[in-house]
Structure 1
Amino acid sequence: MRVVVGSKNPTKVEGTRQAFLQYFEDVEVTGVEVKTDIPSQPFDGETITGAIERAKKSYSSEYDFSVGIEAGLFRFDGTITGYIDFQVAAIYNGKVYTLGFGPGFEYPPMVIGEVLKGKEVGDVMSELSGIEDLGKKTGAVHYLSKGVISRTELARLSVTMALIPWINRELYL
């Protein structure tokens, strides 16, 4: 099975590979650079739109599926900062796309404060952690969870959730 990811971020490519290998054999996953129309720091529905756009723009007939993964901040009342970060995955076969979300978590208030001033989460978290390109390595979630959860794992979980209709076609498609 051939799968393309609408990103060259190694955490997204590896998380996608791990997700597909749970259900399929001989999986080949490639990452390609994709330009989207959403802001570099998406909020709310922009995150979902970004995942779909990445999946659709990376698709070609040489692949069985394309995958778009986008992390973004969703507004939630009652949280410390008013925002929860979710990773969203879209899987596309050239006709139909499916969606999945990974677990959500909250950033520290100072991170959200800087993001609301125009910075990207990844840049703020790299400064906070002292780890350059944190989002292409273990991710902010790894730093904040004290090494228990990685960004690759968030990608795997969101892609796994988006795979549910594909592995249960008789119920969905």
Structure 2
Amino acid sequence: MIPVALGSRNPNKVRGTELAFRLAGFRVNVISVEPPNDLSPEPIGLSEIINGAVKRARYAINMVQSADFGVGIEAGILRIEGFNEGIDVTIASIIDSDGEITLGMSPGFMVPKRFMNKVLQGIELNNVVSGYYGEPNLGRRYGLVGALTRRFIDRVVLNTEAVYMALIPRMPWNTELFRGS
């Protein structure tokens, strides 16, 4: 079993990480740790989302000395010029003991304008969504995507896809392609 440190205690992120590694053919033991406390509560923009994922992964691998990999998963909103809505995406970062980082991203979906307006006022998306649907802490369960799709797709799916995409360069048949030229 390969020890993998995850920079989150969110059960959706733990499950998504376990599934992605298993689907990629790795047998892992995911060890979740509290993430660093200086993360943005609602990352907006590609750089902020990626930086949050990388920070979580680095922090996790440093907290679990026995870990072969650190994983960080960060959901956030991409703003698209000319649109009032944002696109919600999940980005995963995987770092190994040599410091090599690989990234992956989930599919994205539009955030409703009424939610986006509140996020731009500084309210965390999870709080907006939980208030609207009347369900506390929706983000730790099926999330906005689950509510919008009537649970056809949930946060576990997006987390799994993001981590799996970040694993592509680490798959044995791909490592030669992703090494230096």
TM-score normalized by the length of structure 1: 0.94
What do residues 107-164 of structure 1 show as CA deviations (whole Å, max 9, x unaligned)?
1111001111110000000011111111111111000112110100000000011001
Aligned equivalent of 1:85: 88
How large is the RMSD of aligned CA atoms in angstroms?
1.3
What do residues 33-75 of structure 1 show as CA deviations (whole Å, max 9, x unaligned)?
0215342111111111000000001104401111000011111
Say which is worse superposed, 144-153 or 28-37, in terms of deviation.
Answer: 28-37
Pair 1:115-2:97 in alignment? no
Return closer, same or farther for 1:36/1:50 CA change in 2, 3 Å cut-off: farther
Identity %: 40
Aligned equivalent of 2:175: 169
Secondary structure in 2 aligned to 1:110?
Answer: helix
| Structure 2 Cα separation of the partners of residues 166 and 126 of structure 1 | 37
Pair 1:138-2:138 in alignment? no
What do residues 60-102 of structure 1 show as CA deviations (whole Å, max 9, x unaligned)?
44011110000111111344x2411110000000310100010
Look up the equivalent residue of 1:32 and give its one-letter code. Answer: V
8 Å contact from structure 2 (residues 85, 113) kept in 1: no
For structure 2, list consecutive stretches of 5 or more residues without a partner in the other structure: none
| Structure 2 Cα separation of the partners of residues 25 and 165 of structure 1 | 14
Equivalences for 1:10-49 in 2 at 5 Å?
A: 10-44=11-45, 45-49=47-51
Aligned equivalent of 1:63: 67
TM-score normalized by the length of structure 2: 0.90
| Structure 1 Cα separation of the partners of residues 43 and 15 of structure 2 | 22
| Structure 2 Cα separation of the partners of residues 133 and 17 of structure 1 | 22
Deviating 4+ runs (over 3 angstroms):
none
8 Å contact from structure 1 (residues 13, 29) kept in 2: yes
| Structure 2 Cα separation of the partners of residues 118 and 134 of structure 1 | 18
Match 1:97 to one of 98, 101, 107 = 101
For structure 1, list consecutive stretches of 5 or more residues without a partner in the other structure: none
Aligned equivalent of 2:8: 7
